[in-house]
Chain A
Amino acid sequence: EAQVTQNPRYLITVTGKKLTVTCSQNMNHEYMSWYRQDPGLGLRQIYYSMNVEVTDKGDVPEGYKVSRKEKRNFPLILESPSPNQTSLYFCASSYTGVGEQYFGPGTRLTVT
C-alpha cells in the first residue's frame, strides 16, 4: 500500500531535549516536505527536499533541521525544542514538486 508513515504519532517532551520525528514514503517520490499545523494558521511549510542531499527552507524553518540521506526518508530534527514548537506535524511527499502531495498521519508534539 502506497503510504507516508511518521513516528512517533504522539510525543510529549521537555524544553531543550533533542528529538527526531521520522518520516518515510514507499512511493519513490522525489519531493518531501514537513509542515506544522496550528489552529487558525493552517499548514505552514517548514522544510522541503527535492532529492537526496537537497533541501530548502519553507516559511517557518527556525528551530528545525532536516536531512535527506535516503530518498525514502526525511527526518525532522528539533535540536532544542521550545514550547512554541508544540504543534501537529505532517510529513508529505510528491512525485513532482508541483503536483499533489500525499500526507502522513501526523505527529502531535507537546513541549513543556
Chain B
Amino acid sequence: AQSVSQHNHHVILSEAASLELGCNYSYGGTVNLFWYVQYPGQHLQLLLKYFSGDPLVKGIKGFEAEFIKSKFSFNLRKPSVQWSDTAEYFCAVNEGTNAGKSTFGDGTTLTVKP
C-alpha cells in the first residue's frame, strides 16, 4: 500500500528563518503530489501541486517544493517564514492510475515565533 512519510512532526522557527519540511512517498508509479495547509480553526487548502514538468513548483504565499523522483521526495521550502505561517502542513499523494485514492502524511505542525 502507498505510504507517505513526513519527517518532522513539530517544527518551531523564529520569523525570517528558512523552512524545509520533508516528505517521502513509497509508490513507484506515476504520482501527483500536493502540499496542503491547515491554519488554526480552518479547513485544509492547497499550497501547491506537482503533476509533471518542471520539478520545482511554486505555490501560494512564497512556498515552493521540489520533486526528486529518484528519492521519492517532495520537500516543501520557504526562504523566510512569517508568524502567519503557523499551521499544520500535510503532504499528499494521488496515484496516477487509481483515481480517487489519496494518501496523506501524518502532518507537520509549524510554529513560528514572532
- By a beta-carbon cutoff of 8 Å, the part of chain A in contact with chain B is 31, 33, 35, 40-45, 48-50, 56, 58-59, 90, 92, 96-101, 103-106
Of the four ranges (under 10, 10 to 19, 20 to 34, 35 or more), the interface on chain B belongs to: 20 to 34
Contact of B1 among A33, A59, A98, A105 (CB under 8 A): A59
Q: Is B22 an interface residue (CB 8 A)?
A: no
Question: What are the residues of chain A within 8 A of B42 when measuring CB–CB?
Answer: 105
Q: Which of A43, A44, A48, A99 has the most CB of B within 10 A?
A: A43
Q: Are B44 and A103 in contact (CB under 8 A)?
A: yes
The contact string, 1 if C-beta is below 8 Å from chain A, for chain B 57-94, is 00000000000000000000000000000000010101
Q: Is B18 an interface residue (CB 8 A)?
A: no
Q: Are B102 and A40 in contact (CB under 8 A)?
A: no
Q: Are A45 and B44 in contact (CB under 8 A)?
A: no
Q: Report the minimum CB–CB distance from B61 to chain A (whole Å).
A: 16
Q: Report the minimum CB–CB distance from B45 to chain A (whole Å).
A: 7
Enumerate 26 A-B pairs (CB-CB under 8 Å) in ascending A order.
Answer: A31-B99, A31-B100, A33-B102, A42-B6, A42-B90, A42-B106, A43-B44, A43-B92, A44-B104, A48-B102, A56-B100, A90-B44, A92-B44, A96-B99, A97-B94, A97-B98, A97-B99, A98-B32, A98-B94, A98-B95, A98-B96, A98-B99, A99-B51, A100-B46, A103-B44, A103-B45
